[in-house]
Amino acid sequence: MSSTRRTRLRNSLAVKVIFSTVVLSLVLFGIVGSALYNKFSDGILNVKLDSSIAETRSAVFNAQYRFSFVGNSKQAVIGSIVKDIVANSATISATVNGREIALLRSDALTSGEVDYQSTSNLVNPSVIPEELRKRVRKNLGTEWALTTITYASGNRLPGLAVGQAITIPTVGRYEMYLIFSLVNQNATLDLVRTYLLIAGIFLLFLIGLITWLVVRQVVKPVQDAARIAEKFTTGDFGQRMPIKSNDEIASLGTSFNDMASSLQTQILRLENLSLVQQRFVSDVSHELRTPLTTLRMASDVVHSARNNFDPSVARSAELLAAQIDRFDRLLEDLLEVSRFDAEVAVLECVKFDISELIERCIADLSLVAKERGAEIDFSSTGYAVMIEADSRRVERILRNLINNAIEYSDSKPVQVKIVESQGTIAVGVRDHGIGLEAEAAFRVFDRFWRADPSRARVRGGTGLGLSIALEDARLHNGELEAWGRPGKGAHFVLTLPKEAGQQIESRLIRLEPLDYYSTES
């Protein structure tokens, strides 16, 4: 079976049902046909056997009756009677409907005795099976066996040998066999077998056709439902299943259409809500930009003159400037999120050395790392690792990952690793700090989500950094994954294609760090 046929058989319910039905019917027809053929064969053979045994008994009785009047006749007379019996018991010529006779001696010849053993139409005496001869010599009744009639001319015909012991006075014990041709019976069986085969093929075709018609009535609505569901995935929610009856399939179609209408309503409502939310975020972000600029200008003036203020007022000026910076970062993140939601974010790809970019990010964050007591260990390749991507977005991802690792490192080392293949680049950022729950690794990229809200107020941040980092990675056809365990730190792995527009070939860095298993053991 070709791969195309195997695929069709595996993917099509109708083909599976029809194939199974035809195969099972074929097995059933084989069993039933074989049983019927055996019954026909046994019946035809039994009819032929009964008539052959009756004819043999009659012929043996007549021959024995004639031999009983021989007495002490001369050998010529006995020979004449034997010839006459052989001639009268056999057919005139060897035909498919005829029968032959064989008169075979049971005892060994003694000196001077005449051998009256003979066969009709030059039939080879060896056609009588030795096993049959043994049974005839042992029993007084009639015995039979299947054989092949062989003539001196070389012709061979299927036959039935029926024999019985006979006594010739003054001569001894002989065996008389009538050999009946089974050509007509075999021809009848061949005809029966042919008609059984034709009938089986015809019935198999009818069963396959009926199964196809029945399955089509059942599978067609399922195929329609699958087709409509596929339309739903492309955003076409106006498709519905046709209802043409009042049976169970129609009930399924009605339920499916009701479900589709409900889904369409809910999705449209959610889409409208999402559009309102996106528009709100975008509008608010833009509207706040102007007053924030004014506030920053005023804050800069106040902050530059803080040395002339009372210490408490000077501290307030510093806090004001810090919070305005944080507010500015929040607006930038919200604007970036609105670009992703509106699907207007674009890449500005250039060729650059990502290893050098990582070193620059580490250098920029070195003061933060020093304040946190965290040492950054970068496992560089020692040579330039070129990649075609949006350097601004890649830098934002790396800066976010390294900064988060420093923030939550608990004064423990932060390890940055880079691995490349022919078409893929991977960067891993590992910290050994407070870590996070295994379930949190699936939600850490959600917008505004925090594993510990109380800690969020202390650590700062907008809650959008990792979400934006994930969107930036996927915009490059890459992936950003997270792993963590409480007290064992966290591990973030960024995987990107080396060329813009390509797909990542494989995950080059194991997400579960090996040092975690070594500490566990």
> 220 with 71, same domain?
yes
Query: Do residues 142 and 46 share a domain?
Result: yes
Q: Looking at the structure, tell me whether residues 491 and 475 fall in a common domain.
A: yes
The single-letter DSSP state of residue 93 is S
Rounded average pLDDT over 417-435:
91
Could you tell me if 183 and 158 are in contact, meaning their C-beta atoms sit under 8 angstroms apart? yes
Q: Indicate if 202 and 301 belong to the same structural domain.
A: no
Give pTM, 2 decimals: 0.47
Q: Which of 47-56, 288-297, 304-313, 468-477 is predicted with the least confidence, judged by mean pLDDT?
A: 288-297
480 touches 394 (CB < 8 A): no
Residues 272 and 222 reside in one and the same domain: no
- Domain boundary (345, 364, 380) is at 345
> Domain end: 322, 345, 368, which one?
345
Residue 142 or 110, more confident: 142
Q: What is the CATH number of the domain that holds 276?
A: 1.10.287.130
173 with 76, same domain?
yes
Laid out side by side, the sheet with 156-168 consists of 118-119, 99-105, 172-181, 156-168, 143-150
Most confident of 324-328, 465-469, 517-521: 465-469
| Span 380-408, pLDDT tens digits | 888 889 999 999 889 989 988 999 999 88
Q: Are residues 200 and 117 in the same domain?
A: yes
> Does 307 lie in the same domain as 202?
no
Clarify whether residues 467 and 500 are in a common domain.
yes
Encoded amino acid at 368, one letter? V
Domain that holds residue 309: 240-345
Q: What is the pLDDT of residue 456?
A: 44
| Pair 107, 93: CB distance under 8 Å | no
- What is the predicted pLDDT for the residue at 7? 59
- Average pLDDT score over residue span 417-423: 91
Mean pLDDT across 484-492:
90
Q: What is the tally of structural domains in the chain?
A: 3
The 10s digit of each residue's pLDDT in 222-268 is 777 777 777 777 777 777 777 776 766 677 778 877 877 887 788 77
Question: Domain end: 185, 217, 233, which one?
Answer: 233
* pLDDT band for position 501 (cuts 50, 70, 90): confident
Instruction: Tell whether 225 and 248 lie within a shared domain.
Output: no
Q: Which of 86, 114, 117 is nearest to 100 (CA)?
A: 86
Q: What is the mean pLDDT of the chain?
A: 81
Half-sphere exposure of 329 (CA within 13 A, CB side): 14
8 Å CB contact between 283 and 275: no
* 266 dihedral zone (left: phi>0; alpha: psi -120 to 50; beta): alpha
Cβ-based neighbours of 201, under 8 Å, separated by 6 or more: none
What pLDDT is recorded for position 347?
84
At 108, the amino acid letter reads: A
Helix runs in 68-172, H state only = 75-89, 130-138
- Structure confidence by residue, pLDDT tens digits, 37-86: 899 888 988 998 999 999 889 888 888 888 877 766 677 777 788 888 87
State both tokens at 148. Answer: 């092949």
Coil vs helix vs strand at 423: coil
Residue 127 and residue 10 in one domain: yes
Distance, CA of 184 to CA of 43 (rounded, Å): 14
pLDDT at 120 over 70: yes
Here the CATH number for the domain that contains residue 360 is 3.30.565.10
The yes-or-no verdict on residue 284 having pLDDT over 70 is no
**12-26, 281-295, 424-438: which is most confident:** 424-438
Q: Are residues 154 and 218 in the same domain?
A: yes
